[in-house]
Amino acid sequence: MSTHKGMAEWGYELFMERYRERRYGLAREGDADAGKGVVPGGFEPCLVTLFRLLASRDADGAREPVPLWHLRALARTGHLARAAELAFAISDEPKQGEALLALVEEAAGAGDLLGAQALVDSIRVRDCHDRALVALVPAWARAGELDRALALAERVRYPHNWGITWALLAKALADTGDFRGALDFADRAADSASSRVLTLLLDVATAAGDYVRAGDLVDRLEDLARLQGPGAQGHDPGGPRPLTAILVPEVGRGDLDRLDALLRRPGTSPLYPAVMVDVLEAAAETAGAEVVLALVERTQTLLDACSPTSWYADDLRAAAALMLARHGQVEWAMALADAMNAPHLRAGWQAEIVGELARGGDTGRAETLAHAITDRRARARALIAVVEELARRGETDRAQALTRAITDLWARGHALVPVVEELARRGETERAEALADTIAFRETRDRALFVVAGLAAPSDARRLAARLAALGGWYGITGLLEQLAPQGITAVTDALTA
C-alpha cells in the first residue's frame, strides 16, 4: 500500500517514472568528467570500440539470446541478414516467427522491401507469415509497386486477414492520390465486420469525396457498436471504438445531431460513457468554444442519467474538466474536479487542470493556480506542467526560474529536462549540458543528456554518447549508436554472441 502512496496526486505515469528513476539514486561526484576522454582519436572507431568492450563485459556469463529490440536495431541499420541469422537460431518456433515478423516490419519501414519480402517466405509459423504479408502490401503500394502489392495480397491465407489487407491497400492508394484505385480495393473489404477495417474504409471514402459511401460506412459502424456492445472495440483491441470513430469527426465539424439522437434514446444508450470520454478528449484539442459548452451540457445529461457514484462518472467529470480548462473555463473545471467521488483524486485532477490551462496558452494564470494547490505532490505536478509549456514556447529563462519553486528533488530535475531539450534544440549545447549536470538523480540526468545528444552537432553527439555509455552502459543508448555509428550495432552483436 505504501508503494502506491501519492499515485493519485502525481498521476500514474509521473509516479512510475519517479519511482523508477529514484531507485537508481543520486548522481555521483565526478560523473561530469566520465567518458570525456574516450572519443578524441577518431570519433566513430572509438565509439565502436567502447560499445564492443561494454557489451563484452555485460555478456560475460549471459545465457539469454540476443533480445528482440537488438535484432530490430540490426534490421533498421541495414544488417537484415545478420538479424535474420540470429532470429533463425531461436529454437522456440512461435517466438522465432514473431521475431522474423518484427524484422520484416523493420526492414519494410527502413525501405528494404526486397529484403523484407525475401524474409517473408522463410517464416514457418502460418499466422506470422500471413501478418508479414499484410504488413508488406501497403509498403509496396506506397513505393509505387502496385503489381507486387496485389500479388502479395492475393497470397494472404486466412480469411480474417483479408479485410484488413484490402483496406490497408486502399488506404495506401488514397494516400498517394489514386482515389479510383483506392475505392476499387475498398470494395473488396466492404464485407468486413471489423471496426478497424470499416474505419479505414471511411477514411478512404472521405478522402475520395464519396460521401454516399462514407454515410453507409458510418451507419454500419453505428450498427456494429450496438451489436458488439456500447463500449466495445470489436475485433480490434486497441483500435477505436466504433462510435468513437463516427462521433469524433462529426463533433469536430460542430455536428452534434447523432450525439443528441443517441442521448435521447430510452433505456441503455449505446453511447457508452467511455465513448463520450473519447469525444471530450478529442474536442479539447479541436473544438471551438460553442461546441465545448454544448458538450459539457450533454455530459451533464449523461451524468444525470447514470448513478452519480458509478466508476465512470468520475471519468466523465475529469474529461469534461480538462476540456474546459484547455479553453480557459477554469472555475467550471475545478467545480467538476471537486465533485469527484474519490477525495484523494481531487488534488491530482487539480494539477491536470492547471496543465491543460497552461497548454491552452494561459501560462501566467496556470502558474498562479499551481502555487495555490495545497497538496505538495500535486503542486509539483502542476508546476512541472507549466515549466514544460514555458519551455515548449521558448521561454527557457522563466521556465528554469520556476523549477526552483519545486521542492521535491526528483520533480525539480524532471522539470529541467524540457528546458534542457529546448536549449539543445536552439543549438545551446554547452548550456544545455551544464544544466543537465545540475540534475540530482542519475537516471533523470542521463535522460536529459540523451536528449542533448540527439539534438547536438555530430562531434558533441559522439562525445555525449560516449559519456552516457561510460556512465550507464551501451544498451540504453542504442538509438544514438544507430544514428552516430551504425557499425557499432554489429560490434555489439559480435560481443553478445561471442
CA 7, 13, 14 angle in degrees (round to 5)?
A: 70
Helix (H, G, I), strand (E, B) or coil at 239: coil
Q: Which residues pair with 417 in a beta bridge?
A: none
C-alpha closest to that of 108 among 130, 84, 131, 76: 76
Question: For 229-310, where are the alpha helices, taking DSSP H only?
Answer: 242-252, 257-264, 273-286, 289-305
How much is the pLDDT for 2?
A: 38
Helix (H, G, I), strand (E, B) or coil at 441: strand
CA distances from 318 to 65, 199, 259, 263 (A): 45, 27, 19, 20
What sign for the dihedral angle of Cα 394, 461, 37, 25? positive
Question: For 406-441, where are the alpha helices, taking DSSP H only?
Answer: 409-425, 429-436
C-alpha closest to that of 107 among 94, 93, 122: 122
Q: Cell numbers 543520486 label which residue? A: 26
C-alpha closest to that of 55 among 478, 474, 462: 474
Rounded to an integer, what distance in angstroms lies between the CA atom of residue 118 and that of residue 267? 55
Phi, psi of 268 (to 5 degrees): -75, 115
Phi, psi of 441 (to 5 degrees): -90, 135
- 209 close to 182: Cβ distance less than 8 angstroms: no
Q: Which residues pair with 26 in a beta bridge?
A: 441
Rounded to an integer, what distance in angstroms lies between the CA atom of residue 264 and that of residue 271? 10
Helix (H, G, I), strand (E, B) or coil at 245: helix
How much is the pLDDT for 267?
A: 59
Q: Which residues of 202-234 are buried (b: 16+ CB within 10 A; e: fewer)?
A: bbbbbbbebeebbeebbebbbebbeebebbbbb
Q: Which residues pair with 441 in a beta bridge?
A: 26
Rounded to an integer, what distance in angstroms lies between the CA atom of residue 281 and that of residue 191? 31
Spell out the residues 6+ positions from residue 411 whose beta carbon is closer than 8 angstroms to its own: 18, 380, 381, 383, 384
- Which residue ranges in the chain fall short of pLDDT 70? 1-3, 30-45, 57-65, 228-241, 266-272, 475
The helix (run of H) or strand (run of E) holding residue 207 is helix 195-208
Rounded to an integer, what distance in angstroms lies between the CA atom of residue 449 and that of residue 35? 13
Q: Cell numbers 483491441 label which residue? A: 237
How much is the pLDDT for 400?
A: 98
- 457 close to 23: Cβ distance less than 8 angstroms: no
Spell out the residues 6+ positions from residue 388 whose beta carbon is closer than 8 angstroms to its own: 358, 415, 418
Phi, psi of 416 (to 5 degrees): -75, -20
Rounded to an integer, what distance in angstroms lies between the CA atom of residue 80 and that of residue 71? 8
- 98 close to 66: Cβ distance less than 8 angstroms: no
What nine digits make up the cell of 460?
Answer: 558533441
**Residue 109 is which amino acid?**
G
- 472 close to 483: Cβ distance less than 8 angstroms: no
Number of H helices, E strands in the chain: 29, 0
Rounded to an integer, what distance in angstroms lies between the CA atom of residue 118 and that of residue 123? 10
Counting every residue written for the chain, the total comes to 498
C-alpha closest to that of 446 among 420, 426, 428, 468: 468
Helix (H, G, I), strand (E, B) or coil at 1: coil
Rounded to an integer, what distance in angstroms lies between the CA atom of residue 199 and that of residue 240? 8
Rounded to an integer, what distance in angstroms lies between the CA atom of residue 479 and that of residue 73? 8
- The pTM assigned to this predicted structure is 0.80
